[in-house]
Amino acid sequence: MLSLTLRQLEYAVAVARHGGVTTAAEALHVSQPALSVALAQLEAQLGHPLFLRRAGGPMVPTSFGRGWLEAAEAQLHGLVQLMAGAAPAPPVRLAVFEDLAPVLLAPLLRQVRTPVAPQVMGFEALAEALRRGQTDLALTWDLGLEAGIARSELARVVPHAVMAAEHPLAGADLTLALLADQPLILADQGLSLGHMRALFSQRGLVPRLTHRCATLELMRSFAANGLGVGLSYTRPAATVSADGAPLLCRPITDAPGEPVVLAHAQANPLSAAARQLAAEITGLPRLLP
């Protein structure tokens, strides 16, 4: 078991710095006997003398003591910095919703100065990470977040329809009523799926859900290949699917916009680095293409 005390470290380093017990005791405002006893106890625990003791001369470190005292001084300095709140901050943990990550994460990392440890997650995992303090900040759509989550709106995006370039509705004014009659393709993500369905049900419409795709990119591929009309808020800039098929992305004119938010748990106070990153993100002139 470690029995070394911080006081013993401080005393030993002070003796090395001042060259003797008497001067070190005066500098630390402690009695010389107390310092001498603490130093003797430390050397006994280490099994080595830290200093050469010569009558009438300064106390100088032994060969063993020289390296040990240098390490001890570095440790004490680190502890002083730690207690002053000046210890090096770890990268800020930034969770990003998985569909938004390919669109905004790399451009964001290129622009911010604060070190970031990105975490790409689905809705449920992201909300749980915030609740459990496993991430500091989160970039996501404002879905499935608890009441104790603080949100800063960064952008508001209307949903859009994804379709093959030659789809019959390519030139139409797209409304929810018009799209309800089409075979629809949605991303198979619980909260996102339920939200898209609610857009129709709130207007008394029953959508024709034909395909549920595991990823946004798969949904875009299905739509580009004529298997239906995809619905999404996240809009990558590419005008072709992953397989090279051309596609169109058209806004749904009567659907409300959904906010992209920067979120954090109110019960988990942000570090100075996390506050700095939040300020940098909210200050970006344009978050989404």
pLDDT at 3: 66
pTM over 0.75: no
Calculate the dihedral angle through the C-alpha atoms of 135, 138, 144, 150, rounding to the nearest 10 degrees. 90
Exposed/middle/buried for residue 145 (C-beta within 10 Å: 0-12, 13-18, 19+): buried
* 41-65 mean pLDDT: 89
Tell me the percentage of the chain whose pLDDT exceeds 70.
Answer: 97
* 115-130 mean pLDDT: 93
pLDDT at 87: 61
> With helix as H, strand as E and coil as C, how does 77-142 read?
HHHHHHHCCCCCCCCEEEEEECCCHHHHHHHHHHHCCCCEEEEEECHHHHHHHHHHCCCCEEEEEC
Tokens of 148: 């104790």
pLDDT at 281: 96
pLDDT at 1: 39
For residue 123, give the amino acid letter.
F
235-270: pLDDT as tens digits = 888 899 999 999 999 999 999 999 999 999 999 999
78-102: pLDDT as tens digits = 888 777 766 667 899 999 999 999 9
* 171-183 mean pLDDT: 95
Look at the block and give the residue holding tokens 């549920």: 212
Tell me the percentage of the chain whose pLDDT exceeds 90.
Answer: 73
**Taking 80 as the threshold, does the pLDDT of residue 190 lie above it?**
no
Measured from the Cβ of residue 265, the count of other Cβ atoms closer than 10 Å reads 23
pLDDT at 2: 54
1-39: pLDDT as tens digits = 356 788 999 999 999 999 999 999 999 999 999 999 999
How many Cα atoms occupy the beta-carbon half-sphere of 274 within 13 Å? 20
pLDDT at 135: 95
pLDDT at 85: 66
**Exposure class string for 50-88: b at 16+ Cβ within 10 A, else e:** bbeeeeeeebebbeebeebbeebbeebeeeeeeeeeeee
**Taking 80 as the threshold, does the pLDDT of residue 122 lie above it?**
yes
Q: Which domains does the chain have, with CATH numbers?
A: 6-83 (1.10.10.10), 92-155+259-282 (3.40.190.10), 159-256 (3.40.190.10)
pLDDT at 80: 80
